[in-house]
């Protein structure tokens, strides 16, 4: 399994921005599904965004669409989550996830929730105050 390290979390006021980073232990420039998830204590983990590294396809949860952007810097082998117009309800622990996805159908399976990710980072806390 690939090891993932997140960074970039912190505290910000509502309306502010943060950029999260996720650095994998191996090259994920192609044939990988990657995603950002978040979880609040006592609540179910929620997916935020998915990314397919073979064609840079993106999928966003309705709650963050238009405010968050997932991207990958391939030379740096780093996945990002740019978060703008942050709201207090975005407060959560954010996790990066990854899985080998040699086929586009694998990406659709991850987006559809029929296939879970096998590699997870340790998480980075985001706190948005009103």
Sequential DSSP letters for 31-80? SEEEEEEEE-TTS--EEEEEEETTTTEEEE-TTTTTTEEEEEETTTTEEE
Q: Which pLDDT score, from 0 to 100, does residue 95 have?
A: 98
Q: Which pLDDT score, from 0 to 100, does residue 60 have?
A: 98
**96 forms bridges with which residues in the sheet?**
36
Of the listed ranges 1-15, 22-36, 100-114, the least confidently predicted one is 100-114
**pLDDT per residue over 27-67, tens digit each?**
999 999 999 999 999 999 999 999 999 999 999 999 999 99
Mean per-residue pLDDT of the chain: 96
Cβ–Cβ < 8 Å for 35, 102: no
- Cα of first residue to Cα of last residue in the chain, in angstroms, is 39
* CA triple 60-66-72, angle to 5 deg: 55
Q: Which pLDDT score, from 0 to 100, does residue 113 have?
A: 84
Q: Report the alpha-carbon distance of residue 96 to residue 5 in Å, rounded.
A: 8
Q: Report the alpha-carbon distance of residue 98 to residue 79 in Å, rounded.
A: 10
pLDDT at 114 over 90: no
Nearest to 97 by CA among 129, 57, 50, 62: 50
């Amino acid at each position: 399994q690939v090891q993932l390290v997140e960074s970039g979390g912190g505290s910000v006021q509502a309306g502010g921005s943060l950029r999260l980073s996720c650095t994998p232990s191996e090259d994920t420039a192609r044939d990988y599904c990657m995603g950002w998830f978040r979880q609040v204590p006592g609540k179910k983990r929620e997916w935020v965004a998915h990314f397919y590294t073979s064609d840079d396809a993106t999928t966003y949860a309705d709650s963050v669409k238009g405010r968050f952007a997932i991207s990958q810097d391939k030379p740096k082998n780093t996945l990002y989550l740019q978060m703008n117009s942050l709201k207090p309800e975005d407060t959560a622990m954010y996790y990066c996830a990854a899985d080998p996805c040699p086929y586009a159908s694998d990406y659709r399976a991850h987006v559809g929730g029929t296939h879970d990710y096998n590699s997870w980072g340790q998480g980075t806390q985001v706190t948005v105050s009103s």
